[in-house]
Amino acid sequence: MDEHELRTMIDEVKSGRLSRRRFVQTMIGLGLTAPLAGQMLTSAGVAQAQSKLAYKPTKRGGGGALKTLWWQGATLLNPHFATGTKDQDGSRIFYEPLASWDPDGNLTPTLAAEIPTMQNGGLSKDGKSVTWKLKKNVVWHDGKPFTADDCVFTWEYCADPATASVSIATYKDVKVDKVDSHTIKVTFAKPTPFWADAFVGVRGMIIPKHLFAAFKGDKSREAPTNLKPIGTGPYRFVDFKPGDIVRGELNPSYHMPNRPHFDTIEMKGGGDAVSAARAVIQTGEFDYAWNMQVEDEILKRMEQGGKGKADIVAGGNIEHIQCNFTDPSKEVDGERSSVKTMHPVLTDPAVRQALNLLVDRGSVQEQIYGRTGIATANFLNAPSKFVSKATKWEFNVDKANQILEAAGWKKGADGIRAKDGKKLKFLYQTSINAPRQKNQAIVKQAAAKAGVELELKSVTASVFFSSDVANPDTYSHFYCDLQMYTTTMTQPDPELFMNQFTSWEVASKDNKWQGRNITRWKNEEYDKLYRQAESELDPVKRGAMFIKMNEMVIQHVVVIPVVFRPRVAAVSNALRVEQSGWDSDFWNLQNWYKEA
């Protein structure tokens, strides 16, 4: 799909012939994110859609207690120190960003009075600045007014390397100025197409200047507010025990009318995913449980005649197999899988294409993941009905055999194909996790039928995903031929995600295997396209570029996508929530309510 076709589709949305949701889903099918699709529509003048969750309660409070379960409890409540989503979610009860991402990629205002656009003058023509207007009636939980100073301070706080904030990447290259008491201007060093990062979503939560000012930089750990958050959110802080429980109560001076619905909120941590699902779906002891990494079969059994259901929403997680383009068995300058080498077999495109045909995604979905893992051909997420023509998955052993035969890989006496004395034998590793081992077995079986032998290896997750420089078994060392894991796309813009195929990101000894290009695939055309997309201001042109990049990755079989893993939460039947795959679970907590 090129730019022209994209523009035709956008016009169709504009004239109402194509629904907005359908467009967004098609873009997701092409490997884009919903927020980028939303941005493309907004730039073409299509109005932002309203959130689909209608808020029914007509007064504030009276909803009783909202009990939620996180099987990993929040360990700290400063959003800018959050090590995982659990901490971001815990913080999000109390803190709010200027705007949040809904499931369809709409930017919805939270603390902002309106979303900046070209039309309302919020976005500058050169793409170098954004002006945000803040809501005026907002007060912090301690009664102090929320102003532009707090936004400017949040930027200073996060951008200071001494603070060691996890949001530093979002804030370090921007400059934030106060225009007036309720207007701020974010200035970028260079034209920035995706401007909605600072002050938006999970890294955009704004902290009060009056409480954190004394604890910027080196002293950041000592701030008492780290443990007793004072924010602007729908609930006020009551109690926090790290790893166990976060409790809040209704904020009587919340800035949105009639909200929130619940009198108290509780986020209990600990335990495991299955019993968390049970407490919501089967016994109804709790109202909501996060991140249901539970086999679909078990979820379905619980749902029968239960008190709740699994709520599934698209996000950016993808279980995929990576092909190593370098030689894992040759050591050069003290490292294996060095970019100075070439994989003796996997660099043959025919072999990779055959492997792609040997991954039976249909069976993986059917037998292992069910609703929680949907077969995909795209490196980014793709609900099956919207898969584009260019990237389509197929499971076909005969075709794989033909391709290998044609490329000169002949079966030997042992049934394994070989060419020039090199055998089609691969070491295929992943982390220890029951569904992954089943997945490995399915692939191995099919590969054997095509004369490809796979040796399976599984590594403990804590080693596999560690960044230990000395350990050769980590995923970033990639000292084997094939490996499989889930990569998470946590950011709404695909730019950062797609840089894992650029040649300057290759993981190597020099960068202590911190580079993000694990496959070590290098392609000049891809690099060039990526550089262009970095500064392309027209969202439609930029979108077309990302679609092209995604297609390149798939057509070259750099990675073999297996299943896309949507977000799954357990929700009680009476509770009304709206999940978004692009933001925190609590992104619109203020609108949660229970049907009487």
Partner 1 sequence: MSRYLLRRLLISIPVLAGISLILFTILAMAPGDPFEELATNPNVPAEVRLNLRAKFGLDDPIGVRYVRWFSSMLRGDWGFSFTSRVNVDTLILQRLPTTLIVLGSAQLLAVLVALPVGTLSAVRPYSIFDQIATTLAFIGFSLPTFFTGLLFILFFSIYLDWLPFIYRADISATGWRFYWEHLRQAIMPVAVLGLFQGAALTRFVRSAVLDVIRLDYINTARAKGLSEQVTITKHAVRNALIPVVTLMALQIPTIFTGAVITEQIFRVPGVGSLLISAILANDTPVIMAITFVFSCLVVTFNLVADLLYGWLDPRISYR
- The binding site for partner 1 (CB under 8 A) comprises 65, 69, 72-73, 75-76, 81, 83-84, 161, 164-166, 168-170, 203, 221, 226-227, 239, 241-245, 247, 264, 266, 268-272, 275, 278-279, 282-283, 285-286, 462-463, 465-468, 471, 488, 490-491, 496-497, 500, 512, 514, 516
- In 3D space, the residue among 113, 102, 264, 108 whose CA is nearest the CA of residue 184 turns out to be 113
Nearer to partner 1, 72 or 154 (CB): 72
- In 3D space, the residue among 122, 102, 76, 87 whose CA is nearest the CA of residue 24 turns out to be 102
Nearer to partner 1, 42 or 68 (CB): 68
Q: How far is the CB of 129 from partner 1 (least distance, A)?
A: 22
Contact 262, 250 (CB under 8 A): yes
Angle, helices 397-406 vs 434-449, to 10°: value is 60
Between CA 369 and CA 117 the distance in angstroms is 41
In the sheet that holds 183-188, the strands lie side by side as 129-133, 183-188, 174-180
CA dihedral 320, 392, 31, 86 (to 10 degrees): -40
Q: Within 129-219, where are the H helices?
A: 148-159, 168-171, 209-212
- Phi/psi-derived region of residue 372, left when phi > 0, alpha when psi is between -120 and 50, beta in every other case: alpha
Nearer to partner 1, 270 or 415 (CB): 270
Q: How far is the CB of 474 from partner 1 (least distance, A)?
A: 9
Buried b (16+ CB within 10 A) or exposed e, 548-579: bbbbbbbebbbbbbbbbbbbbbbbbeebbbeb
Between CA 566 and CA 77 the distance in angstroms is 26
Q: Within 332-396, where are the H helices?
A: 349-358, 361-363
Q: How far is the CB of 79 from partner 1 (least distance, A)?
A: 13
Q: How far is the CB of 128 from partner 1 (least distance, A)?
A: 22
Q: How far is the CB of 271 from partner 1 (least distance, A)?
A: 4
Contact 383, 555 (CB under 8 A): no
Contact 163, 170 (CB under 8 A): no
Nearer to partner 1, 393 or 530 (CB): 530
Nearer to partner 1, 16 or 305 (CB): 305
Q: How far is the CB of 108 from partner 1 (least distance, A)?
A: 21
- In 3D space, the residue among 329, 281, 290 whose CA is nearest the CA of residue 308 turns out to be 281
Q: Which amino acid is at 231?
A: G
Nearer to partner 1, 428 or 497 (CB): 497
Query: Which regions of 470-515 does DSSP assign to beta strands (E)?
Result: 482-487
Nearer to partner 1, 20 or 261 (CB): 261
Between CA 265 and CA 91 the distance in angstroms is 13
Nearer to partner 1, 146 or 379 (CB): 379
- The three-state secondary structure class of 89 is helix
Q: How far is the CB of 5 from partner 1 (least distance, A)?
A: 29
Nearer to partner 1, 31 or 451 (CB): 31
Helix H or strand E encompassing 481 = none
- The three-state secondary structure class of 546 is helix
Locate 394 and state its tokens: 């197929």
Between CA 99 and CA 102 the distance in angstroms is 10
Q: How far is the CB of 496 from partner 1 (least distance, A)?
A: 5
Q: How far is the CB of 135 from partner 1 (least distance, A)?
A: 26
- Phi/psi-derived region of residue 291, left when phi > 0, alpha when psi is between -120 and 50, beta in every other case: left
Nearer to partner 1, 236 or 247 (CB): 247
Q: How far is CA 279 from CA 89, 125, 302, 568, in A?
A: 20, 52, 10, 15
Q: How far is the CB of 306 from partner 1 (least distance, A)?
A: 10
Q: How far is the CB of 274 from partner 1 (least distance, A)?
A: 10
Q: How far is CA 180 from CA 133, 177, 186, 200, 536, in A?
A: 9, 9, 13, 20, 31
Nearer to partner 1, 5 or 285 (CB): 285
Nearer to partner 1, 242 or 370 (CB): 242
Between CA 386 and CA 377 the distance in angstroms is 11
Nearer to partner 1, 185 or 516 (CB): 516
Q: How far is the CB of 275 from partner 1 (least distance, A)?
A: 7
Nearer to partner 1, 197 or 348 (CB): 197
Q: How far is the CB of 228 from partner 1 (least distance, A)?
A: 12
Nearer to partner 1, 278 or 436 (CB): 278
Q: How far is CA 549 from CA 53, 269, 539, 544, 546, in A?
A: 34, 40, 15, 9, 5
Contact 55, 588 (CB under 8 A): no
Q: How far is the CB of 15 from partner 1 (least distance, A)?
A: 37
Q: How far is the CB of 256 from partner 1 (least distance, A)?
A: 25
